[in-house]
């Protein structure tokens, strides 16, 4: 890959473009876990880059925990940290006495899942959430703001909003964790999820998301906008989830 020309479309710094190509090879399996990356000299020749530029690109991948190594030694691909999650499963109520499905999925991947409750409050939601909930110009909802962790490392930012008439005076509005998750509580309250729609997009992280997820670079986050409807198509929950894209992929089956 030559250096960027004045009329080149990709105007990113060369080290970012090198990191992007190598990242893709790691995540696609072309560079398998345990394999050494090509030598610095080979990377310099391949990308027409200086030693400093190649080292800067490798540092990006180290910060993202995709490779491991130190100066003067071979750089090795780490075991893939990216996990495949099945969003449809986390939206279903857990059986009585069972843990929130997200925690169970973490166990299955050999992770110690955790949930940190950041805030529970009555708030005016963002415009897209307010529209999905059918709120008026000054309508409010109960927000449950949480950060999900793997082995104490933050991996997902979750903000769930519930209609005020449904949530006020219930455990949804209390500043404590809910055993089995909010889907289980809603089901126990008689609000079974009849239809769930996810809209997934990749976005540049906000300052809040960057800080909360301790992102290593300006990688995009996977943003899921979930609307859960109960009987009569009434919205019972709208959740906005932000996942670190280098740690997760979403799997949907049709």
List domains and CATH numbers for the chain: 14-77 (1.10.10.10), 83-250 (3.40.1410.10)
What are 36's two structure tokens? Answer: 């050494």
| C-beta of residue 160 within 8 angstroms of C-beta of residue 237 | yes
In 3D space, the residue among 203, 251, 248 whose CA is nearest the CA of residue 223 turns out to be 203
pLDDT value, residue 1: 47
What are 173's two structure tokens? Answer: 């509005």
- Please state, in angstroms and as integers, the Cα–Cα distance from residue 78 to each residue in 26, 29, 66, 150, 224, following that order: 9, 11, 6, 17, 28
Determine the Cα–Cα distance for residues 189 and 183; give it in Å rounded to an integer. Answer: 10
DSSP letter at 72?
T
| pTM of the full structure | 0.84
pLDDT value, residue 94: 63
Backbone angles phi, psi at 215, to 5 degrees: -65, 140
Q: What is the pLDDT along the chain (254 residues), one digit of tens a residue?
A: 445 455 678 888 999 999 999 999 998 889 999 999 999 999 999 999 999 999 999 999 999 889 998 766 789 998 876 788 777 766 666 666 666 666 667 677 777 888 999 999 999 999 999 999 999 778 999 999 999 998 888 999 999 999 999 999 999 999 998 888 888 899 989 999 999 999 999 999 999 999 999 998 878 999 999 999 999 999 999 999 999 888 888 888 88
What are 154's two structure tokens? Answer: 């933050």
């Amino acid at each position: 890959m030559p250096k960027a020309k004045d009329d080149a479309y990709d105007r990113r710094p060369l080290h970012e473009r090198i990191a992007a190509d190598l990242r893709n090879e790691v995540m696609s399996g072309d560079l398998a876990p345990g394999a050494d990356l090509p030598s610095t000299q080979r990377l310099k020749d391949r990308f027409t880059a200086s030693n400093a530029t190649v080292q800067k690109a490798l540092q990006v991948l180290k910060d993202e925990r995709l490779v491991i190594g130190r100066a003067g030694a071979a750089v090795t691909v780490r075991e893939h940290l990216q996990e495949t999650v099945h969003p449809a499963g986390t939206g279903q109520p857990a059986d009585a006495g069972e843990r929130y499905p997200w925690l169970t999925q973490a166990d299955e991947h050999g992770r110690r899942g955790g949930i940190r409750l950041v805030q529970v409050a009555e708030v005016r939601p963002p415009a897209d959430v307010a529209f999905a909930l059918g709120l008026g110009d000054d309508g409010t909802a109960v927000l449950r703001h949480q950060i999900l962790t793997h082995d104490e490392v933050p991996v997902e930012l979750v903000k769930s909003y519930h209609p005020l008439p449904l949530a006020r005076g219930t455990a949804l509005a209390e500043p404590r964790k809910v055993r089995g998750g909010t889907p289980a509580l809603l089901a126990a309250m008689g609000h079974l999820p009849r239809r769930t729609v996810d809209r997934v997009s990749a976005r540049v992280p906000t300052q809040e998301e960057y800080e909360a997820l301790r992102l290593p670079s300006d990688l995009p986050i996977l943003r899921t906008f979930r609307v859960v409807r109960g009987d009569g198509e009434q919205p019972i929950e709208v959740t906005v989830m932000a996942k670190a894209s280098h740690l997760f992929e979403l799997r949907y089956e049709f």
